[in-house]
Structure 1
Amino acid sequence: MISVIICSIDKMLLKAVSQNITATIGVEHEIIAIDNLNSNKGICEVYNEGVELAKYPLLCFLHEDIKLKTHDWGKTVVNIFRENKVGLLGVAGSTYRSIVPSGWFPPHEFGTASWRLNIIQGSRYKIKAEKYEYFNPRKENISKVTCIDGVWFCTTKKIAQEIKFDNHLLSGFHGYDIDYSLAVGQHYEVLVSYDILLSHASDGNFNDEWLKQLIKVQHKYCEILPIDYQGYEKEEAAKSESLSLKRFLREIIQNRNFTVQERKNILKTYYLQNQIGAFKYLKFLYKLVRTR
């Protein structure tokens, strides 16, 4: 029933997660593990390969540093996808997608009201204790969201062949989950389930390369952003957007890991999208010249 697709770079982690999947999934399945340790392929290309190899109608993509805690989670997935409008299912996501680049969660100016998640967050190198993260403010069984976290998500083979992972835009290992969520979300529902629990032993990697890929994704979908399923008051959302965009652009201007031309292009893009006016655009350019 479910083809589990893993982009693998660690044989020990792969062995452990494969055993965990087999012990907990509760339905007929296969594990498609694609060794990407010595490859130049990005995760989008690997996932597209996995889709074509899959023999089952439901697909599950997951990181190899997780441990599924819920038994028979595969049955939950099967039941959810019986609803034809469902396109993507995750365990962490957000009901709001800002115009400002971020992970699955919106910029911190929006707070945590839009968070929807059920996960145990840990650390691969044990530098911090495990923490159970549960955000379900509306006490829902399942929540409609704008995007999900790529740690674990499911879709159908039909959808994954119809809407492919964008390996032309994203050649690395960042931004694919946000990009895919926004692509699928234009045609199907993107959901978070609270009935599937897993632990994720990761310390995160929110570096400049991550940010560069997220900027690409935001620009790709600029015409449909922001997306609000949270129901923010219009003035409240506009204020948070303005504050977060100003902070983001200030940080970009100061970030010398971006070339001067890259920083200029980012400023110009937001100006052309009418997110900042001419005065602010020139003001930011002046600051950029002074910091170069």
Structure 2
Amino acid sequence: MLSIIISSYQKYYFDQLVKNISETIGDGFQYEIIQIWNPNLMSITKAYNSGAEKSKFENLLFLHEDIIFHTQNWGEILLNHLRQESTGIIGIAGSSYVTTAPCSWTVSEEYMFANILQGNKQNKEYTHIRSTKENLTPVLAVDGVFLAIKKATYNHFRFDENLKAFHGYDLDFSLRVSEKFQNYVVDDILIQHFSNGNLDKVWFDANIKVREKLGSDFNKQKDLKVEKNVFKSFLYNYFRYYPVNRKNILFTLKFYPKKLNFKDHLEITKKYYQYIRYSGNINKKK
């Protein structure tokens, strides 16, 4: 009934998860675990598509290996959510807003929804992040730690293998699915994640690539405060990794949120002025 697909490179975490799934998914529940051994042998998109091609059940769960489940009988809970005809992806973290500037699903607190125990690789501490307001919270973008979808729906979208690394795949996949189906974050399946993520240049570039590909026309109304703040953050990060010059300034303007008020336009103009004025010092640090 459920094919669980894991792009794996850490034997300890994988073995721990396999045992945990057997103890929590539910007695008599039919499932299979498809391990794609992937110590940087291929992109996660290729690994996931490869796993899906090998799957035998009608429901798919793409799962990180550095997690464990805290919910008992979660298999049937998940299938009940997936049985709804209009459902796209079921996740445990995501957001309901897509900004003009490149950004991950963690766009801002008012649009972020999650129910997860977020920890670290040492398993010394974790924080229960719970911002869901209902059992099924409608979202657009879904975090890749847990992506459940009907196989028939997956077949229409698949993961984009042009995304070559291990970032951006979840944002791209979930936003494309959201154009035809409704994605949800659920509050009745709880996992513990042994990672804080790695928000490096590769991650940043992947978000840019996704926004270039898909655009940002996902919300009927724009939140101007969020748009301004995310764009300022985008500028800061972009010029951390790339020199301040004419070419790169023009590139950032591709993602400029045009529907801002005069005060916000002026604030961003001043930011650009500061980057240009101190470009010599900024570029020396590259």
Fold match (TM-score > 0.5): yes
Residue 105 (structure 2) aligns with: 104
Trace 1:1-292 onto structure 2 (pairs within 5 A). Answer: 1-26=1-26, 27-37=29-39, 39=41, 41-106=42-107, 110=108, 112-126=109-123, 129-136=125-132, 139-168=133-162, 170-225=163-218, 227=219, 237-253=223-239, 255=240, 257-258=241-242, 263-264=248-249, 266-270=251-255, 280=269, 283=273, 286-287=276-277, 290=280, 291-292=282-283
> Residue 134 of structure 2: SS of its match in structure 1?
coil
Q: CA deviation at 1:259?
A: 5.5
Q: CA deviation at 1:13?
A: 1.3
1:42/1:284 Cα in 2 relative to 1: closer, same or farther (>3 Å)? Answer: farther
Across the aligned residues of Structure 1 and Structure 2, the Cα RMSD in angstroms comes to: 2.6
Q: Is the 8 A contact 1:60 1:152 kept in 2?
A: yes
Within 1, Cα distance between the matches of 2:67 and 2:146?
A: 9
Q: Is the 8 A contact 2:119 2:193 kept in 1?
A: yes
Q: Is the 8 A contact 1:69 1:198 kept in 2?
A: yes
Q: Is the 8 A contact 2:141 2:171 kept in 1?
A: yes
Q: CA deviation at 1:286?
A: 3.6
Within 2, Cα distance between the matches of 1:287 and 1:158?
A: 54
Q: CA deviation at 1:244?
A: 2.5
Q: Is the 8 A contact 1:145 1:190 kept in 2?
A: yes
1:243/1:287 Cα in 2 relative to 1: closer, same or farther (>3 Å)? Answer: farther
1:243/1:103 Cα in 2 relative to 1: closer, same or farther (>3 Å)? Answer: closer
Q: Is the 8 A contact 1:267 1:284 kept in 2?
A: no
Q: CA deviation at 1:32?
A: 0.3
Q: CA deviation at 1:104?
A: 1.8
Normalised by the size of structure 2, how large is the TM-score?
0.86
Q: CA deviation at 1:283?
A: 4.5
Within 1, Cα distance between the matches of 2:16 and 2:278?
A: 48
1:115/1:223 Cα in 2 relative to 1: closer, same or farther (>3 Å)? Answer: closer
Q: Mean alpha-carbon deviation: is it higher for 18-27 or for 71-80?
A: 18-27
1:12/1:265 Cα in 2 relative to 1: closer, same or farther (>3 Å)? Answer: farther
Within 2, Cα distance between the matches of 1:199 and 1:151?
A: 10
Within 1, Cα distance between the matches of 2:278 and 2:59?
A: 49
1:38/1:96 Cα in 2 relative to 1: closer, same or farther (>3 Å)? Answer: closer
Once the two structures are superposed, residues 149-173 of structure 1 have per-residue CA deviations (whole angstroms, 9 ceiling, x without a partner) of 11112001112211010111x1000
Q: Is the 8 A contact 1:51 1:161 kept in 2?
A: no
> How many residues end up aligned between the 2 structures?
273
1:117/1:131 Cα in 2 relative to 1: closer, same or farther (>3 Å)? Answer: same
Q: CA deviation at 1:243?
A: 3.0
Aligned residues with identical type, % of pairs: 33
Letter in 2 for 1:31: I
Q: Is the 8 A contact 1:3 1:60 kept in 2?
A: yes
Once the two structures are superposed, residues 268-292 of structure 1 have per-residue CA deviations (whole angstroms, 9 ceiling, x without a partner) of 4236x85798x94985884585443
Letter in 2 for 1:13: Y
Unaligned runs of 5+ in 1: none
> Residue 110 of structure 2: SS of its match in structure 1?
coil
Once the two structures are superposed, residues 235-263 of structure 1 have per-residue CA deviations (whole angstroms, 9 ceiling, x without a partner) of xx11321232133214422x1x3366883
Within 1, Cα distance between the matches of 2:142 and 2:216?
A: 20
Q: CA deviation at 1:50?
A: 0.8
1:113/1:55 Cα in 2 relative to 1: closer, same or farther (>3 Å)? Answer: same
Within 2, Cα distance between the matches of 1:287 and 1:9?
A: 46
Letter in 1 for 2:83: R
Normalised by the size of structure 1, how large is the TM-score?
0.85
1:28/1:288 Cα in 2 relative to 1: closer, same or farther (>3 Å)? Answer: farther
Letter in 2 for 1:167: E
